Amino acid sequence: MSGDLDVRVVTVFADGPGGGNPAPIVLDATGLDDAAMQAVARSYGHESAFVIDPDGTGCDLALRFWVPNHEMSMCGHATVGSVWLLAQLGRLPRAGEVTVHTGSGVVRARIDPAGDVRVSQPAGRVESVDGPLVLDALGVTGADLVGPVVNATTSRTKTLVPLSSVDVLDALRPDPVAVDRACAAVGSTGLYPHVVTGERTVDARQFPRGAGYPEDPATGVAAAALAFGLLDRGVVAADGGPITVRQGRAMGRPSRIEVRFEVTDGEVGGCWLGGLVSPT
């Protein structure tokens, strides 16, 4: 069905050959119904973005997002990829900064003169959760943790699981059914185990809830949520320096996401996420 549509695939957040997260983007999806959008996502097997008419939203652009099994309110890498592609094609209404309407609200996108894109996320909130079901789903124990299991939310809620070593992280082989059950129990859209590997550098993996595939090689919304989880734990400072989140290595698809807090008068009001984009 996607053969009748203008679908471009870009790769977002790659950190080397074979890395990054592919994002199929339908350049004119106005008028497509839900079934047609889901069919595109299922045919490609990845999070897919759909550029629709922003009329009535008050924004420069409007996007919808689907994974094979359901619609998502927001997708960080697909937003970065969509804005980058539209900029490359000369289809943005202005240079510099644009507003994007999504199911989770309005985000801003900045395009610098080199063509790099950053997307805003709102200030995160962090809440404790009951961890045993999450640990069981991942096949780890309390002895593998170096901090509390929490939910962190920017556009979407992710469950952050701070692990003791990269070896433990790389060895995870969770059952997707158990992941779905744990996410439902704690009110999350994915489990995000991670390890702090250096100053402002973190390795992570994303096991999504009910997406139609077991693992995600690069997850911008999760990286943004993680930044606020790290801030809450005192691992990073409330400044504008980069936080590097590496993901996808265990899948053979190394990815790199950069998150920076938006700081005004010493207060963190949100963050920006970005990374490399390239045509596929």
**For the segment 56-76, what is each residue's pLDDT rounded down to a tens digit?**
999 999 999 999 999 999 999
- Is the CB of residue 48 less than 8 Å from the CB of residue 81? no
Closest Cα to residue 13, out of 153, 123, 116, 157? 116
For residue 22, pLDDT over 60 is answered with yes
For residue 45, pLDDT over 60 is answered with yes
User: Residue 280 has what pLDDT?
Assistant: 86
For residue range 208-224, what is the model confidence (pLDDT) as tens digits? 999 999 999 999 999 99
For residue range 141-192, what is the model confidence (pLDDT) as tens digits? 999 999 999 999 999 999 999 999 999 999 999 999 999 999 999 999 999 9
**How large is the average pLDDT for residues 101-123?**
96
Could you tell me the two tokens for 103?
A: 């199911």
User: Residue 231 has what pLDDT?
Assistant: 98
**Rounded CA separation 169/154 (Å):** 24
Closest Cα to residue 183, out of 104, 140, 129, 227? 129
Q: What is the 3-state secondary structure (H, E, C) of 231-268?
A: HHHCCCCCCCCEEEEEECHHHCCCEEEEEEEEEECCEE
User: Residue 1 has what pLDDT?
Assistant: 45
In the block, residue with structure tokens 């701070």 = 162
Task: Look at residue 112 and give its three-state secondary structure.
Answer: coil
Distance set, CA 111 to CA 80, 87, 173 (Å): 10, 8, 37
User: Residue 4 has what pLDDT?
Assistant: 82
**How large is the average pLDDT for residues 32-58?**
97
**How large is the average pLDDT for residues 243-269?**
96
Q: Give the mean pLDDT of the chain.
A: 96
**How large is the average pLDDT for residues 90-119?**
95
Tell me the residue type at 127: E
For residue 81, pLDDT over 50 is answered with yes
Taken in order 24, 116, 205, 125, is the CA torsion positive or negative?
negative
User: Residue 3 has what pLDDT?
Assistant: 57
- What crossing angle do the helices spanning 220-233 and 76-88 adopt, rounded to 10°? 130
State which H helix or E strand residue 161 sits in. strand 157-162
In the chain, the largest separation of any two C-alpha atoms, in whole Å, equals 53
User: Residue 15 has what pLDDT?
Assistant: 97
User: Residue 56 has what pLDDT?
Assistant: 96
Distance set, CA 1 to CA 39, 60, 103 (Å): 7, 28, 24
Instruction: Please give the residue that has the higher pLDDT: either 229 or 114.
Output: 229
Could you tell me the two tokens for 3?
A: 């053969």
Domains and CATH numbers, the chain: 2-122 (3.10.310.10), 125-272 (3.10.310.10)
User: What percentage of the chain carries pLDDT values higher than 70?
Assistant: 99
Instruction: Please give the residue that has the higher pLDDT: either 68 or 1.
Output: 68
Task: Look at residue 150 and give its three-state secondary structure.
Answer: strand
Close Cβ partners of 53 (under 8 Å, ≥ 6 residues apart): 30, 62
Tell me the residue type at 135: L
